[in-house]
Structure 1
Amino acid sequence: MQRFAFLMHSDIETKLPIYMCGAGHWESQETIIRTEGYPLFQWLFCTNGEGMLKLGHEEMSVKPGMGIYLLPNEPHEYRAIQEPWEIYWLNFKGEQALPMTLLAGLDRSGVYRMTNSELMIHHMKAALALALSEKPLVGLECSKLLYNLIIDMMKSITIRQQSIEQNYLRLQPVFDYMESHYTNKITLEDMAELLNVSTQHLCLLFRKIVNHRPVEYLNLLRINKSKELMLQEVDARIGEIARRVGFDTPGYYSTLFKKTEGMSPETFRRMNRLR
């Protein structure tokens, strides 16, 4: 048994950065051979059985909790190994389809394992149900769901490295320590000790996961805390706020605030109608 729906799009939908074109479900996926590929981006997710994806001379097993990502116009074939091989699928396009999937970790056609298969199944079922519905603006709603699906992929996809979510969890003790001690002096050694790693490895982890060095990230946290104080305590002086969030020198705080926010602390306060 199979169910599927292909969406008709208005001019508005085709101007979206990314939009869904169709969705479907095979209770027992049939063999697919596309010698010239398929013109759209495709994402297929296995919920039962086992299949095989063939790309060129490479064959990859596809089991429950795994997804297949296929770039447009890339020759491929896939078939069941253990039946029933149950598959949910959707396809999409848009000017930002490639950049967004790259950001999610889908850097090439292939098989990807998910750390949260339940969430992925929820998205795939919701996409099909919505595509099959006759609701107004169904194309827009499906595209919104597709965007959310790709965002969740960023947290749970794994291939050749830990998922973003797993990496963030690894740094969680440092994040928690910063949150509790940002008003005090915090050294690289303090943070590295929390993870039992060297300071060099700590810096590497931060650059890889949050694209900032640890001290840069700490200063961004302090800047955000200072903005909260400026909104909460309208009579507090800027220099006093700087010291309360962990900056020894108000001048350095003001320079860093302007570099980060594009305006001085005084301008930030004034723009938020604070005196």
Structure 2
Amino acid sequence: MMSMTPFELFLSDEVQSLLDHFAAILDIRVTFFSADGRTLRRGRQMRNSDYCRMVQRELGTLRQCVSLDSDKQQEAVRQRGIIDYQCHAGLREAIAPVFIHDQLAGFLMIGQFRINDAPPECMLERCSSEEQRRKLEQAFRELPRISAEKLENVLGLFKMLIDYIVVRELAVLQGDRLRNDIDQYLERHCTEPIRLPEMAKKLGRSVSTISQFLRRNYRTSFKELLTERRLAKAEAYWMANPDATVGETAFAAGFSDPFYFSRVFKRHKGMPPGEFRARLRRHVIR
């Protein structure tokens, strides 16, 4: 087993929808695996085909299937590209590693389709009766058939799908990381007289990058986030010190002007800070 990386595919609804369409159009199974080989999601939530279930359960090749998947995952990582192969049961499959920030995030696999008209003889020889052999052949023929010429185009679409997912998920991961960095910085420094240029420098981002990120993704601003965090600090301070004055609480929460604190508090909380403190004290006394 390969070790987990810090990056595990987010698999947004948008990406899942793309997987569903891809699987539906080609009538094949599309599966996401984590970096350590766990199945994360499948296009259209598809289960194993009847043929694969027979091969794995009735003919006893499940361990061989799992081992092959693991081997091909490692080969794909070494080649850093798509591996196209035919499995021991005669089905065509392709697997590709997904790298984000040059680290392995997981694998995308397409499979359970055929390019031949009959299952391999080695599988037929495992059948214990003619009836089982007939059912195996029928289940094989029910699988989607993709010609060698069409397979090249399918693999081309497969590569485009991976490239899109990498770009989409990278944007999600980067956005989540930036928001997390902003939240952590404000949590540590909100009671100090901080400014946006100072925070941007500490986070290694430009002022415009952070401003646009907050406005486009959260419809807010640095000033609003800072105010919300300071008001949360004020409430927490009063919870711990119910007898504290408005001025003491304002300074403890990072507001340099108690009168400004009172106006902001009333605008956000719907009541003056003194009334909030009185209600809190009555609650504490009870």
Larger RCO, structures 1/2 (Cα 8 Å, 6+ apart)? 1
Q: Which has the larger helix fraction? A: 2
Does the TM-score normalized on the shorter chain lie above 0.5?
A: no
Q: Please tell me whether Structure 1 or Structure 2 has the larger radius of gyration of its CA atoms.
A: 2
Normalising TM by the smaller chain, what interval? 0.3 to 0.5
After TM superposition, the score normalised by the length of structure 2 is 0.42
Q: Which has the larger strand fraction? A: 1
